[in-house]
Structure 1
């Protein structure tokens, strides 16, 4: 079972301040005119939100979705992708949602090594990802389109595989669906690969601002 790490963060509030005044005038005759002013200030914090799988918009949710690919015995290495089970959209598919107001953003995926069963490994290249627009659960104000999945990287740090988001007026608001599958072209030793951090089954997605 491969898990996706949900990283979601949103900070701050929108403080609102108003200052008022008064003005008294008096005259024996003629038109009177009095003015009073209000001074409005709105402060917008820098915010960032990333959802991969289960999540609630603009909230932190600790659920980590599990994706499982089970290869039938008679089909080992026979080719043809093996669909996944799990994910918030089921069938190995997950929601992806990105929000930021600090300029262009960068999304990476990182894992500590190849999928392992403790003694043998399966390369991450065996896991395929299809990006497409969401068909349900769209969010008003977000651009719903295929977000490119950042290539699985076993190198620490950001690496060269990031997916870039170009901000409009410093704002990024995009959403998508990723559907994962197992390509089943290799023949590997029997066992359960991934599923735990120790077996390199947990992928961490990191969204970064300038």
Structure 2
């Protein structure tokens, strides 16, 4: 997230999909760091529990679902995928985890498929990664779930260090402990690597890391 101003220009965040166009945007004089802004006039939104599909209230993270004039009617020649992603009320299920505040601001938490399930709790890797990246000794961070028979998955951090900087695993574990509830701790520990593997598009190669973490 970018919070600074360069040459009197303040970057603002929005949210949209190929299947839905622009969903929300940060309007002038309504800037809130970390938010994706407020819904555009043509969009309706509901937040639902990813598992039960029941509607959630304000400040409750769940799957973002949208409908409106700019939202697609379905996938061309793919009725099965259309039925999977668009419910009976014509809401498109985006696969993104987020929440709406009482004053109508949208916050994006993570992709649902990336969420780690620890003892029934949902842990968003992006939230932990953002905090880890604030440490001066951390160059790159990626958090994935390590399979565990009792807990389901243990949040585990892969860390690439900044050159000529010193940082220990316990230091980072303590950092997360200071800012998050017990269910969002790095219960799987910290693994230091030379660099975080990326996909061809530059995104974290989480599938590769999920296989790698099984070796530790």
- Structure with higher helix content: 2
| Structure with bigger RCO (C-alpha 8 Å, 6+ apart) | 1
Q: Report TM bin, short chain.
A: under 0.3
TM-score for the superposition, normalised by structure 2: 0.22
Larger radius of gyration: 1
